Structure 1
Amino acid sequence: MIENSKCECGHNNPVGTILCESCGKPLDEETKGKETIVQEMRYEGKARRSQTFQSSPFDMVWNFFSSVKVAIILIIITLIAAGIGTIFPQEKFVPSSDPAAYYEKQYGLWGKWFHIFGFSDMYNSWWFFTMVSLIGISLVVCSLDRVIPLYKALKNQQVRKSVDFLKRQRITAETALTAEEADEKLAKLEQALQSKRYQVKREGNALLAEKGRISRWGPYINHIGLIIFLFGVLLRYVPGWYLDETMWVREGEVKKVPELPYYVKNEGFDITFYDQKNVPKSKQDAGPIAQKYETRAVLYEKEWDTGKLKPVAKGSILVNHPLAYKDLRLVQADFRIGLLDALDLKLVDKESGKALGKFTVDLYDLKPNQVFRVKDKEVVLLDYYPDFALENNRPITKSPDPNKPAFVFEVREKGQAKGERSWVISGQNLDELTKENRYAIDLAGMKMVDSTGLMVRVDKSLNVILFGGVICMIGLVMGFYWHHRRVWALVDDGRLYIGAHTNKNWYSLERELKLTGEFDTLQVKRN
């Protein structure tokens, strides 16, 4: 730590102090050459920690984050990154199980790099978390570096300041007085300032009037609100604090809620469409328009000891009317009508042309090597492709949804180790691949079902974020609508010296003082 700076008045000031803590005189040569000390009054000329300690590694880190420029740069970088993340859709909105391939196919080289650098899942990326954390650290350090010396300076304000301090204020006045006039003039000034709701302190021939100190804390209350807000955002990265997922539940299906120990059952889905007569002609080509759709749902929780599902909530889920339980919200978001749920297939003897029997394939509940029995025959499922496609002449599935189901079956006699294989795509037997087979598998019927799209939302951090927002607004109001105003008066060597300072709205302060009738000789330095 560097040695302290001693003022002409005898007060020993910490290194980095710009204005003497006792009399207010400038301590460094650059400030001494200035006509006014308005800029130095921001923190009362007090030494900040970043100006005092310089040597240790902790000091270097502290000084780095105490810079407002660093905070602004961090915010700008984060805003630019967030802007880039909006160029293409985020992964959660991409209709593909392979985001990397989707971005490259849809958006070319830009899409490929968009995914590689993590912009496709930006809000869950480590670097976005790091940037938000660094902004929070910068806010904390910047605030502590300034609020502590400001608190000390305002708490220990001196009534008696030097003549040099008063004459360097932006609003000043100076007049000659006799010894008899001095006390009377100070008394009138005290009364006039009190009429303007100033709190006045007087020590002999010196006077200090002050009001609106609360405004000085506005920016720091605002910082506290922003810190709480960012803390709430960071809480969303903690498992269990935030969840925003989408799930599809078919009618009659019981499905686990993603990442939570709950299950939801779709007991029924109802939809009402607008009468086409009441739909504008410009929108009739788009097909039926949903007027109302709702899901009758039951929410279950698995008992840890028995493993059984226990109903904990039940109700109808409509748009803007979610099913709520504790921190969980199930929100109606979408629907799909007439989805394939199951296929009825029949086994046909090609020699006789007769159907030997039927079997039902549940498209959402198929197991490897599942066996279907048709009289004395066994139909074994070897492969299943829910959304069939060919890629490099090899069968693949584009998604887990049964949009174009394809199967590879093996038909064999009961007890037979190996039988004949059949390809069935969308319920149609491929004759060109199975022309030598004795048996064919053909479509006998379809079972359709409606599906509801629910958004699963958990946000325990929302109250923290809202609380931070409220604190931030309080700080903004404090800073914008109150002004910290001070007036010093000193009688010295037969002259009255007056200096006035405010953190904003100088014209208003000048007008207020002149309206009292006791400050006619005020001079305002416009620089």
Structure 2
Amino acid sequence: MKKNDNMLWRFFASVKLALITLFILASTSIIGTLIPQKNPPAFYIKEFGPELGRLFQILDLADMYNSWWFVAILALFSINLIICTIDRLPNVWRMVVMDNLRQPIDTLAKMPFRSSFLITGEMATATATVKKIMTDGGWKAKADEKENSTLLFSQKQAWCRLGVYAVHLSILLIFAGAIIGTVAGYKGSIMIPEGGSTDKIYQYGTNKPIPLGFEVRCDSFKLTLYDSGMPKEYRSDLTVMDRSNNLSFSKSIIVNDPLDYRGITFYQASYDALQGLKVEIYNKKTGRQQGFEIPFGQKTSWPGTKVEFGIINMQQTRGMARLKVWFSDGSGNPETFWMDGDTTRTLVSPDGEYEFYASQLYATGLQVTKDPGVWTVYFGCILMLVGLYVAFFLSHRRIWVYINKEDGQCRVLVCGTSSKNKLGFEKDFSALSERFRQNDTIQTT
């Protein structure tokens, strides 16, 4: 059975099906922007009522872009795109590679762009003259020479007819990349306290633990605020420790400047203030320095010294912690004072001078993604841009010149056609015709 006689083939090869499918995809995609996505069922029942809430569950509208019906529409569109390409590409390919020197002579005079001239002299001389004029005009020609006639042909950008199929391929590549990312990738999150580390993350939606295959440690977290107290910048100092490769390296990440390792990307997403505090004490007299992580409201001792300290009160002012510190080195009365978090205070006692640093401990919130299909998607997007440019802005331009012997003279018929941009081709054709008119051996007819 021929393809054109197969109703199923004609259905999937239909341009009308492609337009309808695109319209449905565009229309239903709006739903995903109107209905909040990936919330628990109770949220939709509370917001939209029991009936609509249950309908949302049946139609997977809470995760619309992964719903069975949306994926089915994408699959239908992909099949339609593939069948359309298979159905039409052979004819287009023949247009690209066809031997245009076999063009029937009687069709040349019917082409939309044409002009004719007379050249006095022999066929060989006339052919050489025409070839030179075409070459000088940027039209390098092939020739089919016979005893009393010659057909010359030149074309530009024949391959641009394939631009639309490059767009088809780019769409399929984008779909394929998305499928690869969905099947082989994941998205999750993790909270890592300062000084803590993890070798797994938790997947969005299921909270399923996913091993990373290496360890990530948060060395420190830095929060910068505006004067209003609003967060200005989150910065996490992370260290990757991969024992399988005996590799360790550090990187500071901020929003839009993530950490990438082994195809896994760690984005700075959030933070959380912890009950613990970070303290560093430097004894200027002895040169000793020690760091501590201490709980709130508990006295802590510096081993090997008489120093004792604690954070006995804490206040939040415009998002920044203010700390009330109790400090003693055993040489005088204990000292109590307030200080801003993430700052250093100099303390002087009869037995020495100390620099006391204190800040609230934070946990950094990381969004973690693995998307092995992302480069396929990127390539598909680049190919789409190239394909769209070729399909809309380039055209297949063809020029034929037929020379035949008539009464001791050679009649020259110049004709041409363009797949698109007729106005632009008309300028090119007029410029070539003008070159013929300017030649002294050629007469206009």
- The answer, yes or no, to whether TM exceeds 0.5 is yes
Q: SS in structure 2 opposite 1:198?
A: coil
Out of 449, 466, 479, which is 2:378 matched to?
A: 466
Q: Deviations over 1:87-117 (max 9, x none)?
A: 02211xx4xxxx2220121234555534431
For residues 226-305 of structure 1, what are the structure 2 equivalents within 5 Å?
226-238=171-183, 240=184, 242-250=185-193, 252=196, 254=198, 256-258=200-202, 259-262=209-212, 267=218, 270-274=221-225, 276=227, 279=228, 288-297=229-238
1:212 CA displacement:
2.2
Contact conserved, 1:182 with 1:496, CA < 8 A, in 2?
A: no
| Distance in 1 (alpha carbons) for counterparts of 2:267 and 2:199 | 15
Please, which of 405, 422, 429 is the counterpart of residue 506 of structure 1? 422
Measure the CA separation in 2 of the matches of 1:332 and 1:201: 62
Are the aligned partners of 1:339 and 1:451 in contact in 2 as well (CA < 8 Å)?
no
Q: Residue 83 of structure 1: CA displacement?
A: 1.4
Aligned to 1:63: 10
| Cα shift readout 1:212-245 (whole Å, capped 9, x = no counterpart) | 223223222333333222211221221x3x2222
Separation in structure 1 between the aligned mates of residue 393 and residue 4 of structure 2, nearest angstrom: 37
State which drifts further: 253-262 or 188-197. 253-262
Amino acid at match of 1:128: F
Q: Distance in 2 between matches of 1:202 and 1:275?
A: 75
Report the secondary structure of 1:257's partner residue.
strand
Distance in 2 between the 1:227 and 1:139 partners? 8
- Give the distance between the partners of 2:404 and 2:364, measured in 1 at CA: 84
Q: What letter matches 2:171 in structure 1?
A: L
Query: 1:192 Cα deviation (Å)?
Result: 1.8
Cα deviation, residue 458, structure 1: 0.7
Q: Which residue of 266, 278, 292 maps to 1:330?
A: 266
Q: 8 Å contact 2:181–2:370 — kept in the other structure?
A: no
Query: Which residue number in structure 2 is paired with residue 113 of structure 1?
Result: 55
TM-score by length of 1: 0.55
Alignment of 1:9-408 (within 5 A): 53-55=3-5, 59-91=6-38, 94=39, 99-108=40-49, 110=52, 112-173=54-115, 185-204=126-145, 205=149, 206-238=151-183, 240=184, 242-250=185-193, 252=196, 254=198, 256-258=200-202, 259-262=209-212, 267=218, 270-274=221-225, 276=227, 279=228, 288-297=229-238, 316-338=252-274
Q: Which amino acid aligns with 2:59?
A: F
Task: Give the AA of the match of 2:189.
Answer: T
Alpha-carbon separation, structure 1, partners of 2:240 and 2:41: 35
Q: Measure the CA separation in 2 of the matches of 1:102 and 1:88.
A: 11
Partner of 1:475: 387
The structure-2 alpha-carbon separation of the partners of 1:250 and 1:202, relative to structure 1 and needing over 3 Å to count, comes to same
Structure 2 unaligned spans of 5+? 203-208, 277-359, 438-442
Q: How far has the Cα of 1:486 moved from its partner?
A: 1.0
Q: Contact between 1:160 and 1:490, CA under 8 Å: does it hold in 2?
A: no
User: What is the identity, as a one-letter code, of the residue corresponding to 2:429?
Assistant: L
The one-letter code of the counterpart of 1:328 is I
Q: List per-residue Cα deviations over 1:390-410 (Å, max 9, x = no partner).
A: xxxxxxxxxxxxxxxxxxxxx
SS in 1 for 2:420: coil
Give the secondary-structure state (helix, strand or coil) at the position aligned to 2:9: helix
- How many percent of aligned residue pairs carry the same amino acid? 25
Task: Report the Cα distance in structure 1 between the residues aligned to 2:271 and 2:243, rounded to whole angstroms.
Answer: 27
Which AA in structure 1 matches 2:114?
T
CA contact (8 A) 2:235 2:252 kept: yes
Q: Which has the higher strand share?
A: 2
Identify if the C-alpha distance between structure 1 residues 75 and 317 changes in structure 2 by more than 3 Å, giving closer, same or farther. same
Q: After the TM superposition, which of the residue ranges 151-160 and 227-236 deviates more from structure 2?
A: 151-160
> 1:97-138: CA deviations, max 9, x gaps?
xx2220121234555534431121123223333333333333
One-letter amino acid of the structure 1 residue matched with residue 431 of structure 2: L
Secondary structure of 1:219 counterpart: helix
User: For 1:327-370, what per-residue CA distance to the aligned partner results, in whole angstroms no more than 9, with x for missing partners?
Assistant: 11221101222579xxxxxxxxxxxxxxxxxxxxxxxxxxxxxx
Partner Cα separation in structure 1 for residue 271 and residue 393 of structure 2: 50
Does the C-alpha gap of structure 1 residues 267 and 212 become closer, same or farther in structure 2, counting only changes over 3 Å? closer
1:196 partner amino acid: G
Kept in 1, the 8 Å contact 2:239–2:250? The answer is yes
Name the aligned partner's letter for residue 270 of structure 1: F
- Secondary structure in structure 2 of the residue aligned to 1:293: strand
Bigger shift: residues 450-459 or 183-192: 183-192
Give the residue type in structure 1 aligned to 2:3.
F
Checking the alignment, whether the CA contact within 8 Å between 1:249 and 1:255 is kept in structure 2 is no
Please, what is the CA RMSD of the aligned residues? 3.7
Shift of 1:301: 7.3
Q: CA deviation at 1:472?
A: 2.5
**1:123 and 1:157, CA in 2 relative to 1: closer, same or farther beyond 3 A?**
same
Task: Name the counterpart of 1:14.
Answer: none
Paired residues of 2:37 and 2:62 also in contact (CA < 8 A) = yes
Would the alpha carbon gap of residues 267 and 467 (structure 1) be closer, same or farther in structure 2, given more than 3 Å must change?
closer
Residues 34-69 of structure 1, C-alpha deviations (whole Å, 9 max, x = no match): xxxxxxxxxxxxxxxxxx5334xxx44433232222
CA contact (8 A) 1:314 1:323 kept: no
Amino acid at match of 2:271: F
Q: Distance in 1 between matches of 2:120 and 2:226?
A: 95
